Structure 1
Amino acid sequence: MPIPQRAPGVDRTLLRDDVFRRLRDAIVDCTFLPGEQLKDMELAEWLGVSRTPVREALLRLGASGLVVSKPGRSTAVSAIDPKAVRDARDVVAAMHVLALRGMAGNANEGELDRMRAANRRFAVALDAGDISAAVDADEEFHQVPVASLGNDAIVAVLDQFGPVVRRAERSRFAADGQASFERHEQLIALLASGDARGAEDLTFDTWHSLSVDEDSSVEPR
């Protein structure tokens, strides 16, 4: 094959991923509420990009269940569907248990310190009533074991289904975030002591403690 005479164009992968993350986070933090219509032209103007990466991001968000589209009509933020959340929760729980299984008994002080710092930020956010910051800190906390394991397949699964669960977690943190803080502290203690089975069981129980019923709602940011 002859070598092309011109260099390839700029790789737009990072741009597409950034647009996807911005829209995903805006849905999770309730910048865009369930039922709100998402128009690609308005979103492109808001983000300062062309409509192409916005359309691609909306397709990815549809695959995650965060938006629903009607061909030729409209795209809107999906309602929080209890069954979809429960299904995603079960998958997310399994991924985090796998990550803990790889980390338990091998956790180093640097990793534990990052978890402690994230949990302190979680507590501060709860005290301030900043649920969006609490969700972010909780994500950072649970990301430490995932990053420690370094399993790209787990990361991909969590990227798809994690936001569905995160959106529902806002109500839990608003109602009783202290319980989550205490579970975090218990998990750190179990990892520090090398209690792998205890850490796995607590992680499983933590994610499955998220109950979603037909009256579930989200709190504005």
Structure 2
Amino acid sequence: MNKIKTESKIGKINRTFIKDEAYNLLSQKIIRGDLRPCQRLRVKELSDELGISRTPVREALLQLESEGLVLTKANRWTIVAPINPKEALNIYPIIYSLEELALEEAFDKIGPKEISKLREINDRIKYLHDKSDQLGIIKKDNEFHNYITNLSGNEEIGPILQKLKRRVERMELYFFENSESNFTTYIEHLKIIESLEEGKLEKSKKALVRNWTSTIETIINLSKEINIEDNEISN
């Protein structure tokens, strides 16, 4: 029997890696506010800054556009998407509904070891809050929720949540860093943990949902206090 030789497409794989790296770098700059809402994005300038060709930059921008972090008007401009607090009313309910499902599926797997891990993550959140490290808080908050989601064993939920949370992470960082509003994540997580320790699923789910709805309320309230100029495209 003749063996069919297959060729290794090293070039294509390398190009994919470059696109992914460009995507990661640009998304981080957008989320952290280094690239401001409504700032114009020029492919040539970005490719020069990143030291790569224009093709992976274009591919990265297309992916960011599909996630709602970039807006494009054909043959005219590409900009960082404006901060839109109303998105919270659409995105967060999807997030907490999926996390409710994950909690249901993970509930029987949560014992003393898992509770201890959740407490460890939450204690770190309190430490970061005392240090006013908002980005660190958001990342640990995601770790807390992702830990429960991963315990569910449902491999479909995580990727969906990751994409949605990437969009709201920018919003959370923007509003909480521009306000002295009390960040209640630590206390709300404690209520989730205590409900899990009591072995009460419905109470745990309610505490989980309350954690997210509290964030929605804070963002909407802060949006009324902070002036967001989202109608002008930066040069």
Q: What is the TM-score normalised by the length of structure 2?
A: 0.80
Cα RMSD (Å) of the superposition?
2.6
Q: Does 1:22 align with 2:25?
A: yes
- State which drifts further: 89-98 or 111-120: 111-120
Q: Does 1:82 align with 2:85?
A: yes
Query: One-letter code of the match for 1:36?
Result: Q
Q: Take 2:126 and 2:93, find their aligned partners in 1: how far apart are those partners?
A: 26
Q: Take 1:47 and 1:150, find their aligned partners in 2: how far apart are those partners?
A: 38
Cα shift readout 1:96-132 (whole Å, capped 9, x = no counterpart): 1111111223213443333222222221221111211
Structure 2 gaps, min length 5: 229-235
Query: Per the alignment, do residues 81 and 104 of structure 1 end up closer, same or farther by CA in structure 2, a change over 3 Å counting?
Result: same
Query: Per the alignment, do residues 159 and 49 of structure 1 end up closer, same or farther by CA in structure 2, a change over 3 Å counting?
Result: farther
Q: Take 1:115 and 1:149, find their aligned partners in 2: how far apart are those partners?
A: 15
Identity between Structure 1 and Structure 2 (%):
27
Structure 1 gaps, min length 5: none
Residue of 180, 184, 187 corresponding to 1:182: 187
Query: One-letter code of the match for 1:194?
Result: G
Residue of 18, 37, 42 corresponding to 1:39: 42
Superposed displacement of residue 17, structure 1: 3.5
Q: In the alignment, which residue of structure 1 is the partner of 2:60? A: 57
Superposed displacement of residue 161, structure 1: 1.5
Cα shift readout 1:29-84 (whole Å, capped 9, x = no counterpart): 22222112223333334444433332222112212211111122222111122332
Query: One-letter code of the match for 2:166?
Result: P
Residue of 152, 156, 160 corresponding to 1:153: 156
Query: Per the alignment, do residues 72 and 6 of structure 1 end up closer, same or farther by CA in structure 2, a change over 3 Å counting?
Result: same
Query: One-letter code of the match for 1:20?
Result: Y
Q: 2:109·2:151 contact (CA, 8 Å) conserved in 1?
A: no
Q: Does 1:73 align with 2:76?
A: yes
Q: Take 1:190 and 1:60, find their aligned partners in 2: how far apart are those partners?
A: 39
Cα shift readout 1:130-187 (whole Å, capped 9, x = no counterpart): 211111111111110112123232122212211222222232475221x211011111
Q: Take 1:218 and 1:124, find their aligned partners in 2: how far apart are those partners?
A: 30
